[in-house]
Structure 1
């Protein structure tokens, strides 16, 4: 239940179009609804502006379907399932035929609301092509949340001229998400070129000494460039959430 639905319910009670017991029945599940295997947070859209996001790994297909069905009945915002394989998409599509699967991002979206797209844009930058799946998770999440998103892929420090040839698009962004594996140096370089806030995402891409992204994580955390915040390894979703809040300030 969002703000508009709650307002309408209260008006219906006031105008005797809905009796108090019926209204209480609708309100009792406002904060969350207990499905035994999940407590679906219907209040999150009121608190944070966006409904709860479904993290797919570790959940059965029936559990995911149950959560989506409950969200469709109790909320009006867009539904996003992250880290979703194709079988998760097929399960959600059986509940909501309008579901869209973004395979590279491993994200399923049930788009029910067209949020007003921001005039300012989030720029998503990757060091290499192998980083694109994490970058697409960030880009799709940010778009679902109503942001204008631009992409600049495969501009890592091994060919720095590729990045320098795109300085204008970097400078005009309001916030930049930098996605990089290996040693994670791209975040420092972009931070040295731009006065915009940067959300750095270390990825698990790299050879043995990259330690599954730990080298990139430590490199980004110890960057000498200022104005860089770092999220967890491969966490494109978390980067998008932070970038969206900055972009809408």
Structure 2
């Protein structure tokens, strides 16, 4: 049976009323190249049972291959597309337009000398946010290239899976950092807004700038920045981590539910390779 194809093995292990899908991509690590069959009933939800080739894998090999295929399946669903959609939004009328107003009008107006440092801080923060979005888009393109290569060749390597996981972690680091920068922007923005209001610098050519400052300060999404930061585990906690530790943290946060639900007990109940059956 060890020399049989995954299709032949699947047919021998398929039970009455079951359907079987062969995972469309092989998985290759430094040891071997693997294939996976997924057995399920049409009335059932989520995961059914699994079979892997080579057939006579050790139990430890099965566990490693099982999680590799589960993660590969998830990452091939383009899980960072939402991050790219967010980074690709047009912020010309909000952040970027406001930044140009600050550069072209307020920095040239002597009346704003008392809040010059605040204006420059706001501009710097908006520059950071724009650069973060560009980085996210670049990482998304790298991710897409890996997916395209896997689809074209019909096989994913251990390195490619590791890279997809790392890119997702890096994108979340970028998102966390620019969210933190958006929060940092609020203090100097509030100082500028208050200065304009107290000194009656909110009319004429300055009215639009004043209105934009108000929107950026009190928009619902800005008010919810603290909740967004909590989603990343908290700014204080993350500031104590190195970049690589932060990347690893966000990978683990994304994947923890898979490992929690699909634990070793699940593997023993659902994988049909002989080493797993013996391990029960």
Greater strand fraction, Structure 1 or Structure 2: 1
Using CA pairs under 8 Å that are at least 6 residues apart, name the structure with larger relative contact order, 1 or 2. 2
Greater helix fraction, Structure 1 or Structure 2: 2
TM-score bracket for this pair, using the shorter chain length: under 0.3
- Structure number, greater radius of gyration: 2
